[in-house]
Amino acid sequence: MTAFRSGSVGLYGKPNAGKSSLFNRLLGHKIAIVSSREQTTRHLLTAVLTTAECQIAFVDSPGFQTRHRSLLNRSLNRRAGEAARDADVVAFVIEAGRFDAADREALRKLPAGRPAVAVVNKIDRVKPTSQLLPFVARVAREHAFAAIVPVSASTGRNVAELLRVLRGLLPEGPALYPAEHLTDRDERFFAAEILREKLFRLLGEELPYHCEARIEQFREEGRLRRIDATIWVDRETHKPIVVGAGGAMLKRIASEARHDMERLFEGKVFLQVWVKVKRGWSDDARTLRELGYS
């Protein structure tokens, strides 16, 4: 019989490498939010996978931010390092065929003394597959990785192999959480995350970085959840863009968010969303503390 192993794996790497997508794929649920923009992930998020052979607490993290120099981004960068520092094993996620300055910078900040696995993600984009070999060889020269595993978070290809490799690097030991435990974040947290995902997906290039989603009220009435939320914007001029012509954009944001919340919570959601100008929120230490960013 194989020994039971348990421990934590920190997902680490530059923004957009696909950490949150991989996190969801490893856990088999959509838990973390995903978009094609930097900074989508703003909080550390832990979720636990329990199988017959192991229990792994995966920690998703924000990538190192390079674009904006706000206080928020400095705090996100601290978080990015924390996830890796506190984990038994680091999964360093990079994009297949691309190893750039941002990857090298993240690698430089990789905490010492932790086994690190290079996860070469997005292999579904590499054609023909033979092109992967020279890339893997190049990655091997960058750092003494415990292993290099190519995967696709989108298709799920080779993710079972990644799991096998990660498990092998964890210490033998009993489960630390009950088998049914998935995450320690509550529904209120996920409601805010889902709403923020819609901002990142539906608003233009720059705007999402100036927005934050906040849950003001979360009430359960039987199987119905009544949720009041606000979208904070940084400037007066942002507000009409988030609201859209005749309120169309805000309606779309709220309706897509409600749909995802209903799926996650497995029950009806009544969601009301307001837009408020909160000038300089991403540079205000007190506000950031209230939002759980420091």
Ligand X SMILES: Nc1nc2c(ncn2[C@@H]2O[C@H](COP(=O)(O)OP(=O)(O)O)[C@@H](O)[C@H]2O)c(=O)[nH]1
Number of Cβ atoms within 10 Å of the Cβ of 168: 14
The structure tokens listed for 243 are: 């609201």
Partner whose binding site includes residue 167, from ligand X, Mg ion, none (CB under 5 to 8 Å by kind): none
17 binds, among ligand X, Mg ion, none (CB under 5 to 8 A by kind): ligand X
Q: Which stretch binds ligand X (CB under 6 A): 42-50, 122-130, 133-141, 244-252?
A: 122-130
- Asked if 6 is part of the footprint of ligand X (rule: CB under 6 A), the reply reads no
Instruction: Give the pair of three-digit tokens for residue 228.
Output: 């009041």
Tell me if 84 sits within 8 A of 61, measured CB to CB. yes
**Of 153 and 273, CB closest to ligand X:** 153
CB closer to Mg ion, 41 vs 65: 41
> Min. distance of Cβ 15 from Mg ion in angstroms?
7
Cα–Cα distance, 260 to 35 (Å, whole number): 14
| Residue window 150-189: x/- pattern of binding to ligand X, with contact defined by CB under 6 A | --xxx-----------------------------------
Residue among 121, 261, 267 nearest 193 (CA): 261
Which positions touch Mg ion (CB under 5 A)? 19-20, 41
Site string for ligand X, 32-71 (x = CB under 6 A): --xxx---xx---------------------x--------
When CB distances are held under 5 to 8 angstroms depending on the partner's kind, the choice from Mg ion, ligand X, none that residue 21 binds is ligand X
If contact means CB under 5 to 8 A according to the sort of partner, which of Mg ion, ligand X, none does residue 208 touch?
A: none
Which partner, ligand X, Mg ion, none, binds residue 18 by CB below 5 to 8 Å per kind? ligand X
Closest to Mg ion by CB, 12 or 99: 12
Could you give the CA distance from residue 128 to residue 124 in angstroms, rounded to a whole number? Answer: 10
Given a contact cutoff of 8 angstroms between Cβ atoms, the answer to whether 186 and 264 are in contact is no
Q: Which of 18, 167, 213, 253 binds ligand X (CB under 6 A)?
A: 18
Q: Determine the Cα–Cα distance for residues 229 and 218; give it in Å rounded to an integer.
A: 9
- Report, in Å, the least distance between residue 211 CB and ligand X: 16
Binding mask 89-108 for ligand X (x = CB under 6 A): --------------------
Applying CB under 6 A, what is the total number of residues that bind ligand X?
20
Strand 116-121: give its sheet, edge to edge. Answer: 45-50, 54-60, 5-12, 89-95, 116-121, 147-150
73 binds, among ligand X, Mg ion, none (CB under 5 to 8 A by kind): none
Residues that bind ligand X (CB under 6 A): 15-21, 34-36, 40-41, 63, 121-122, 124-125, 152-154
